[in-house]
Homo-oligomer: A and B are copies of this chain.
Amino acid sequence: MRYSEKALIPFFMVTEDGTLSLANLVNLVQQVSERQLAGAASQTEMVKRYNIGWVITQSQIEITRMPRAEEHVTLWTEATSYNRLLCYRDYGVLDEQGNQLVIVHSTWVMMDLGTRKIVPIIDEIVEGFGAKKLTKVERLPRLPRFEDPEGERKYWVRYFDIDTNHHVNNVHYFDWMQDALGYDWMRTHKLVSANIKYEREVEPGTQLTSQYKVVREGGKTETYHQVRVGDTVNATAHLQWA
């Protein structure tokens, strides 16, 4: 059950090169799934009844071309399948000709809002979106940790990074990861894909360290990232660049 909305990319969501930032791409597509959920009265009622919330655990993003400022696009989303613990949701961005500019695969877990613990997926909730039950667990590509960063920057979690659930909006990890690479890197490389794993939330008011490693092999340029607070790794990512 695919849900879509048309959108016009605002000026203030693009970077220096005139294309949508990765963080804003994810803001825009996740907004569409929030609206799919909010639009289904039965969903809102069930989510309240079970007192659960959705938490993203990983996303794998493939970019053919990032949309430009003032470009008309279609944003779509679909909860494709689920198993005992994970729900798989895809997102995409189409241009006016219907070409797929970006595709996002993501995995979500259900959290009990009372205990704040992960709970098994409640069939009744996801079946309303046409997601098919799987017996096996499909995993998105794994991400390595590393102990020898090539560079790092420290960031404070700011007041405006916090959403209405009193959590850091997950898109800020992308800003911390990409910004740590520096202006020169960002000005001379184009993002081709991103795979991010959210492991543990960064708390409001903490200072985090965004570390990276560059790997150049077989004509490919890749960066590995981790956001950590002390010894805890909060998120890891693998980005590919052209």
Which residue of the partner chain, among B10, B15, B38, B162, contacts A160 with CB atoms under 8 Å?
A: B15
A 13-36 to B, binary, CB cutoff 8 A, 1 in contact else 0: 011111001010001101100100
Any chain B CB within 8 A of the CB of A11? yes
Is B171's CB under 8 angstroms from A159's CB?
Answer: no
- CA separation between A159 and B17, bound complex, in Å? 11
- CA separation between A171 and B11, bound complex, in Å? 13
Interface class of chain A by DSSP? mixed
- Nearest chain B CB to A113 CB, angstrom units: 16
- CA separation between A169 and B182, bound complex, in Å? 18
- CA separation between A34 and B9, bound complex, in Å? 13
Q: A12-B31, A27-B12, A31-B10 are in contact. Are A175 and B163 (CB under 8 A)?
A: no
Interface size for A (C-beta < 8 A) is 37
Is A175's CB under 8 angstroms from B158's CB?
Answer: yes
Q: A10-B31, A160-B23, A175-B160 are in contact. Are A183 and B166 (CB under 8 A)?
A: no
Q: Kindly list 13 other residue pairs between chains A and B, CB separation below 8 angstroms, not including A12-B163, A14-B164, A21-B160.
A: A11-B31, A11-B34, A12-B171, A14-B163, A16-B166, A69-B164, A153-B156, A158-B175, A159-B179, A160-B178, A160-B179, A183-B204, A183-B205
Nearest B residue (CB) for A35:
B70
| A residues lining the B interface (CB < 8 Å) | 10-12, 14-18, 21, 23, 27-28, 30-31, 34, 38, 69-70, 153, 156, 158-160, 162-164, 166, 169, 171, 175, 178-179, 182-183, 186, 204-205
Nearest B residue (CB) for A8:
B35
- Nearest chain B CB to A184 CB, angstrom units: 10
Nearest B residue (CB) for A166:
B16
User: Which B residues are in CB contact (< 8 Å) with A15?
Assistant: 159-160, 162, 164
